[in-house]
């Protein structure tokens, strides 16, 4: 008899530039869908946080180890049969490809918003990412491609409306043996 693999799981990445509300939406999805939540910012090494705090954008070389750590976290949970939601800017396709290694069916929730709205949000919160880096993030953002599983949602909508759109796009949870 062949050995069974891990149970089917669901893995979401709530992505987008700073200020789109990744944490807020991920927290709601985690509560609604019983997902284990991880804040991508918690995985940054101190050097990345210091660099961003100083108003310097991260390079790809800064990001690779961070993205690998996020993928490893998801892989550990997938292997143990746990569903997850992770916040991560995931601005480039190449970054999303790293995250997708943990589960090829990773569902990306791309949050988009007007630059003025996002800048207002960033300036009114206490976070290491300064609003001065917003434009560089917007310039770097590569939209989801047709072969990437996910949905893009405008954060100009109320939080409840964003969550409803995401949950509607997700469809039913994976079937599991009972």
Q: Where are the domains of the chain?
A: 11-170
Between strands 84-87 and 11-15, the pairing is: parallel
| pLDDT of res. 124 | 67
Radius of gyration of the chain (CA): 16
Q: What pLDDT, on a 0 to 100 scale, did the predictor assign at position 94?
A: 97
pLDDT mean by block of 10 residues, the chain; 178 residues: 65 92 95 96 89 82 94 96 95 96 95 82 61 76 95 93 96 66
User: For residue 18, what pLDDT is reported?
Assistant: 82
H or E element in which residue 8 lies: none
**11-170 CATH:** 3.40.50.300
Determine contact, residues 176/7, Cβ cutoff 8 Å.
yes
Burial of 110 (0-12, 13-18, 19+ CB in 10 A): buried
Total-model pTM:
0.86
């Amino acid at each position: 008899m062949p050995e069974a693999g891990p149970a089917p799981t669901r893995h979401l990445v709530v992505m987008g530039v700073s200020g789109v509300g990744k944490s807020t939406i991920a927290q709601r999805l985690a509560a609604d869908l019983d997902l284990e939540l991880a804040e991508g910012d918690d995985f940054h090494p101190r050097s990345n946080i210091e660099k961003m705090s100083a108003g310097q954008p991260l390079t790809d070389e800064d990001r690779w180890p961070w993205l690998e750590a996020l993928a490893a976290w998801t892989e550990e949970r997938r292997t143990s049969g746990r569903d997850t939601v992770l916040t991560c800017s995931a601005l480039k396709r190449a970054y999303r490809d790293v995250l997708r290694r943990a589960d090829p069916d990773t569902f990306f929730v791309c949050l988009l918003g007007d630059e003025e709205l996002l800048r207002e949000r960033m300036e009114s919160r206490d976070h290491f990412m300064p609003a001065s880096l917003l434009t560089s993030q917007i310039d770097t953002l590569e939209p989801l491609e047709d072969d990437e599983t996910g949905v893009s949602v405008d954060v100009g909508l109320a939080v409840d409306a964003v969550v409803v759109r995401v949950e509607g796009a997700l469809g039913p949870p994976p079937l599991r043996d009972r």
